[in-house]
Amino acid sequence: MLQGRPERAVKVMPEPEVLNLPLRSRRFVFSDVSVEDGQRVSSGDILAKDPNNYAVPLLAPRAGLVRLKKDENAAPAAVDASRGGGHIIIDDVANLEEHADIAKEELEHIEREMGAGGIKRYKLLVLGAWQFFYDAYTGALPDPQGTPQAIIVSTVSLEPFVARGDAQLHKRLFNFTRGLEQLQSLLEYQPMYLVMPDIKSELANRIRDHIRGYAWAKMLEIPLTYPYDDFAILARRLGLRRDKGPVWAVRTEGVLAIDRALTLTKPCTVRIISIGGTGVNSPAHIKVMPGYPIDKIRDTYVSEPAARMIDGGILTGEALGQEPVGIDTECRGITVLGELQDREFLGFARPGWDRSCYAACYLSSLRKRFRERFTTGMRGEGRPCISCNFCEEVCPAGIMPHLIHKYLYRDLIEEAEQARIDLCVECGLCSFVCPSKLDLRQEFIDAKKLIEQEKEEIRQEQERQEKLRQEEAAKRSAEEKSE
Ligand code: SF4
Ligand code: SF4
């Protein structure tokens, strides 16, 4: 019972006059900009690509005039693609008919090389639907030409305040089941698992009726407890081993995007996101497009004068900067919390009265069920670990966060690896329950990155040594021959 949970109904935001498309999102950096300043673009045109992620495109959601140069009157503006920052502005926005930016010669070439299956994958990529795919274990974008061992489709979204699957499915069940059929046509014999909140519900029966005879999906019911919808946890639960090949994962909005790209050959430029949290006057789901000005959303929905806006949910989201400009291509929701600027009056006397605490030593444990109200207040400063074990009790990965924290604190990276830091799914529950307010999640994300970097450096060094050895051997054999 959280205050600020978004309603299921979807509201459509008014058409924007300007779009500010960020060149960076959680996974992508669109550094390869393909438009020029002053160029007129149509809806669906490719504006930029991410060269490190199979060239996924940033599409123009609306027709308009591109502005790349820095405009003194419109701060902060322009493109800084070299550092992966900045954004592309589209002025003079018009909602004209969209088109697919697909070169005919390219399609013919792909058909010759890879057949009809190759064309489908290519369409998913250039029409913006591939961006909705994840590697279940790493969260990265999978190779569009790869072969998965299985696909997980999830209609469940359990993190508080992010867009829910049932809101996405509202009035679009037919598109969803058609998208499932299209998804299955990409597979040969690999299984597809459809994750539902209740496999006996009316919705599940309707989906079964729709797809009967066209697609085959094994339905899987999961406990509605965060984070059992996490793709890595689902893959482990299904017994899909990481060393047996990639597991693709996609959410409801991804299946709808597949349908749009493959059935209608139209670009996927609209998203349904949530706007929720205690700083919002009427929490809802809203239909917007990437680049939609965040200040327009703030003016319409945010009631709190001092509010912190978070891109994503309350446990894994990232605070938006002081001047957030436009929605990025991967946004799933905006959470708004009241920013506590002053110390709470008599805060020490009522800790935990308006939100329940994992430790049952606060006043809230005396209350019956109540609507919790989150704020940004931490109620106290960070402290050393007190070995209460709460983090271990809640960790869905079955690891010991407090132990790993102690290893990392002493720079014992190898020990942290042996304690299986790699199994952490970055759900944030350990940080949430920690009475010492340790940001364990962020600590583990940073450590995992460091470990990956070190492994990559070792791999590159080994490759370099091997190459040197081969060159030496070749040189020696050439010398022997000449003698
Ligand atoms: S260590 Fe923390 S962030 Fe990682 S899976 Fe466990 S509870 Fe989640
Ligand atoms: S919850 Fe925090 S204080 Fe308790 S054992 Fe874990 S890290 Fe230590």
**Residue 4: closest CA among 226, 236, 282:** 282
Q: Helices 173-184 and 202-211 meet at what angle, rounded to 10?
A: 50
Q: 420: CA distance to ligand 1 center in Å?
A: 11
- Most ligand 1 atoms within 8 A of CB, residue of 441, 443, 446 to mutate: 441
Q: How far apart are CA 180 and CA 250, in angstroms?
A: 11
Q: Are strands 271-276 and 318-319 parallel, antiparallel or unpaired?
A: unpaired
Cα–ligand 2 centroid distance for 391 (angstroms): 6
For CA atoms 444, 450, 452, 455, the dihedral sign is negative
Flag whether 183 is in a domain.
Answer: yes
Q: Bin 41: left if φ > 0, else alpha if -120 < ψ < 50, else beta.
A: beta
Which atom of ligand 1 is nearest to 227's Cα? 8
Rounded Cα–Cα distance for residues 371 and 395 (Å): 25
Are residues 119 and 262 part of one domain?
yes
* Burial per residue of 40-51, b for 16 or more beta-carbon CB atoms within 10 angstroms, e otherwise: ebbbbbbbbbbe
Q: Which of 452, 334, 329, 443 is nearest to 27 (CA)?
A: 329
Distance 399 CA to ligand 1 centre (A): 8
Domain boundary residue, one of 253, 268, 283? 268
CA–CA separation, 267 and 259 (whole Å)? 11
Among 285, 213, 219, 254, smallest CA distance to 124 is for: 254
Mutate to test the pocket of ligand 2, among 358, 378, 387 (most ligand atoms within 8 A of CB): 387
**Residue 217 belongs to a domain with what CATH number?**
3.40.50
User: Ligand 1: distance of its center to the CA of 68 in Å?
Assistant: 41
Q: Whose CA is nearest to atom 6 of ligand 1?
A: 395
* Ligand of minimum distance to the alpha carbon of 394: 1
Of 268, 291, 318, the last residue of a domain is 268
Tell me whether residue 221 is in a domain: yes
Q: What is the pTM of this model?
A: 0.89
Q: What is the pLDDT along the chain (483 residues), one digit of tens a residue?
A: 888 999 988 999 999 999 999 999 999 999 999 999 999 999 999 999 999 999 999 999 999 999 985 544 444 444 555 444 688 999 988 877 777 777 777 777 776 776 667 889 999 999 999 999 999 999 999 999 899 999 999 999 999 999 988 888 888 899 999 999 999 988 888 999 999 988 888 888 888 888 776 667 899 999 889 999 999 999 999 999 999 999 999 999 999 999 999 999 999 999 999 999 999 999 999 999 999 999 999 999 998 888 899 999 999 999 987 666 899 999 999 999 988 777 777 766 667 777 788 888 888 888 888 888 888 887 778 899 999 999 999 999 999 999 999 999 999 999 999 999 999 999 999 999 999 999 999 999 999 999 999 999 999 999 999 999 999 999 999 888 887
Asked if 247 and 107 sit in the same domain, the reply is: yes
For residue 15, being part of any structural domain is answered with: no
Q: CA of 144: how far to CAs of 120, 127, 133, 212, 350, in Å?
A: 10, 13, 9, 27, 53
Tell me how long the chain is.
Answer: 483
Looking at the fold, whether 263 and 392 belong to one and the same domain comes out as no
Q: What residues does ligand 1 touch, defined as CB less than 6 Å away? A: 394-397, 399, 401, 424-430, 440-441, 444
Residue 359: CB atoms within 10 A of its CB come to 12
CA nearest ligand 1 atom 5, residue = 424
Shortest-distance ligand to the CA of residue 388: 2
Classify residue 247 by its DSSP letter: E
Minimum CA distance residue for ligand 1 atom 8: 427
- DSSP code for 14: P
How many A from CA of 260 to the centre of ligand 1?
Answer: 35
Q: Which residue has the tokens 């060149």?
A: 23
Tell whether 159 is covered by a domain: yes
Nearest residue by C-alpha to atom 3 in ligand 2? 385
User: Which of 426, 431, 432, 436 maximizes ligand 1 atoms within 8 Å of its Cβ, making it the mutation to test the pocket?
Assistant: 426
Q: Are 304 and 278 in contact (CB under 8 A)?
A: yes
State in Å: Cα 412 to ligand 2 middle. 18
Q: Which ligand is nearest to the CA of 390?
A: 2
Nearest-ligand number for the alpha carbon of 232: 1
> Contact 149/187 with Cβ under 8 angstroms?
no
Distance 269 CA to ligand 1 centre (A): 33
Number of domains in the chain: 2
Q: Does the residue 98 lie in any domain?
A: no
Is 397 found in the same domain as 259?
A: no
Query: Any alpha helices (H) in 212-350, and if so which ranges?
Result: 231-237, 252-263, 294-301
Ligand 1 atom nearest 401 alpha carbon: 1
Which residue segment(s) compose the domain that 441 sits in? Answer: 385-483
Write out residues with Cβ below 6 Å of ligand 2: 385-391, 401-402, 405, 433-436, 438, 440
Domain termination site, one of 249, 268, 287: 268
Q: Considering only CA atoms, which of 342, 442, 422 is closest in space to residue 382? A: 442
